[in-house]
Amino acid sequence: MINAQEELEDLFLKGNQDYLANISVDNVIFGYHDKELKVLLLRNPNFGSWMLPGGYIKKTEDVEKAATRVAHQRTGLDHLFLQQFKVFSTPGRNRDPHITPEVLSQLTGLKIDENHWMFQPIVSIGFYTLTEFSKAKINGSFFAEVAQWWDINTLPPLLFDHTQIILEALKALRLHIYHYPVGYELLPEKFTLPEIRALYETVLGTKIDDRNFTRKLLSLGIIKNTNELKNVAGHRPPYLYTFNKEVYSMALKDGVSIF
Amino acid sequence: MINAQEELEDLFLKGNQDYLANISVDNVIFGYHDKELKVLLLRNPNFGSWMLPGGYIKKTEDVEKAATRVAHQRTGLDHLFLQQFKVFSTPGRNRDPHITPEVLSQLTGLKIDENHWMFQPIVSIGFYTLTEFSKAKINGSFFAEVAQWWDINTLPPLLFDHTQIILEALKALRLHIYHYPVGYELLPEKFTLPEIRALYETVLGTKIDDRNFTRKLLSLGIIKNTNELKNVAGHRPPYLYTFNKEVYSMALKDGVSIF
């Protein structure tokens, strides 16, 4: 937990003054490591269910900055790949029988009633973030102090519409990697071809045609052979590859067809 | 112009009571007709520049409903294809030297000062809509009574960040049509293969490989031959095709690879 007191005061006391009303960000932080794709969830025992990391938007910042702040506070990492994907706005979406004025008053030590701005309708801007989960130092928030990685195939019950938000984020990520490279934040600086293929197969949740995939990444110039061999036991050690940062960045800006 | 008085009162008098604060929708309404792609813009002579159709979000509706309402009010059409694509939130984005409390007071006959909710920061949810422009009966709003179709290649100077919103909408539409069918709202019920190819080439702004494109649409089952011939002069009249609505709807839901 970082800066609990600061978060508390920002949120409940100065919220309607410093932050935009009726709007928040939720950040689906995906963590990849060795063929596993996970999502970072938080929990407050008072609320019963798990929830996504999220936050409000300062009047002096854009939504990307708010989502970046959330990702940094929860993982300790900077320069994460972050993508806006969908807005969630069904009326009543941010009401839950466990989150009452009484519960919030008890939790904060402040007097909070039905008219508090947190009980107004809130439209949430959905972002997803990609990280390597072994690199992250995860933190809960004042609002939900337990933080845990969950495999995307075995999610627990979630608050509000957060299950839907995660499913939509996964759909957007899968569409995204057809047109833009991913991996720079998720693989070691030098990696083998089976390692990058495993990353794509894990994200897509499906097998891919190895030869076409490798050929395309090489012919686009997104990855290149370092001509170094990986130091592994066995008689045919694999070559190590690396991203060509310049081509990678351009592809991220303009889009490509990976498949 | 429809319901000017109602729009006026809704917007300025009951705005902060019925609508969400700090948030709006902008709708990039694309109109296609016979190899031309246009965008619907509005203008108020007091503001100097053209602007996108947009509106505020009622507390009782979601952002899709608000964007649908905007599209209906400005085109008279229902059941349009509508897609959320990006959120615009740079601080200060909704300030313009031509839109002052004095100008708005004069325009509305109401007393409007710097503290009016319209001068607060506003995050805008960008939508795009597809229509056949010859079918639309376009209307301005109370706020900007002149409505006009503009070719996407020759846009006039636009208010706020509206040029950026249109460019991002076009980018999103071009990505979209790689994975989802479009055309149902844009072509006549029966059309020739050159007609559907012209639609895709106009939207993409580039030539496409005719044989592969046609073969893919047919093999996916999205279009089918009606075995009727188009009644045109010449010795080889072309076949008429039609969308298979069931396959089309499924592809729209699950995504496909058109190219």
Mean pLDDT of all residues belonging to chain A: 91
The pLDDT value given to residue A3 = 59
**Substitution target from B18, B22, B56, B120 for chain A, most A beta carbons within 10 A:** B22
The whole-angstrom distance between B143's CA and the closest CA on chain A is 24
What tokens were used for A35? 């063929």
Interface of B with A (CB under 8 A): 20-23, 57, 59-64, 84, 86-87, 89-91, 121, 123, 125, 175, 178-179, 255
What is the CB neighbour count within 10 angstroms for residue A232?
9
Cα B219 to Cα B101: distance, rounded to the nearest angstrom: 59
Sequence-distant (6+) residues with CB within 8 A of A103 are A46, A47
What pLDDT is attached to residue B58?
A: 94
> Strand B123-132 relative to strand B19-33: parallel, antiparallel, unpaired?
parallel
- Tell me the mean pLDDT in the region A80-109: 92
**How many whole angstroms separate alpha carbon A151 and alpha carbon A171?**
16
Q: Please report which confidence band the pLDDT of residue B1 belongs to, taking 50, 70 and 90 as the band edges.
A: very low
The full DSSP string for B91-138 is TTTT--TT--HHHHHHHHSS---TTSGGGS--EEEEEEEEEETTT---
pLDDT of A45 > 60? The answer is yes
pLDDT category at A95 given cuts 50, 70, 90 is very high
Which H or E run includes B252?
helix B245-254
Answer whether residue B2 shows pLDDT above 60. Answer: no
For chain A, list residues whose CB is within 8 angstroms of any CB belonging to chain B: 20-23, 57, 59-64, 84, 86-87, 89-91, 121, 123, 125, 175, 178-179, 255
pLDDT of residue B257: 72
Alpha carbons A220 and B243: distance in angstroms, whole number: 35
B22 interaction partners in chain A (CB closer than 8 Å): 20-23
> Mind listing the pLDDT tens digit for each residue in A8-17?
766 777 777 8
- Are B139 and B74 contacting, i.e. CB atoms less than 8 angstroms apart? yes
**Residue B28 · residue B1 · CB < 8 Å:** no
Helices H / strands E in chain A, number of each: 8, 9
To the nearest whole Å, the CA of A103 is away from the closest chain B CA by: 25
**Count of A–B CB contacts within 8 Å?**
60
CA dist A192 and A200 (Å) reads 13
H/E stretch holding B226 reads strand B223-229
- Among the partner-chain residues A21, A22, A86, the one whose CB lies closest to the CB of B84 is A86
Please list every residue in chain A whose beta carbon sits closer than 8 Å to the beta carbon of residue B179.
175, 178
How does pLDDT run across A146-157, given as a tens digit for each residue?
Answer: 999 999 999 999
Look up residue A9 and give its DSSP letter. I
Amino acid at B89: S
pLDDT in tens, B226-235: 999 998 877 7
Q: How large is the average pLDDT for residues A158-169? A: 97
Q: Quickly list DSSP for B2-37.
A: --HHHHHIIIIISHHHHEEEEEEEEEEEEEEETTEE
Residues in chain B with CB shorter than 8 Å from the CB of A118 are none
pLDDT per position as a tens digit, A198-244: 999 999 999 998 888 999 999 999 999 999 999 887 778 999 999 99
Examine the pLDDT at A259 and tell me if it is beyond 70: no
- Report the share of chain A in percent with pLDDT over 70: 96
CB contact under 8 A, B59 and A91: yes
How far CA B206 is from CA of B194, B200, B203, B209, in Å, comes to: 15, 9, 8, 10
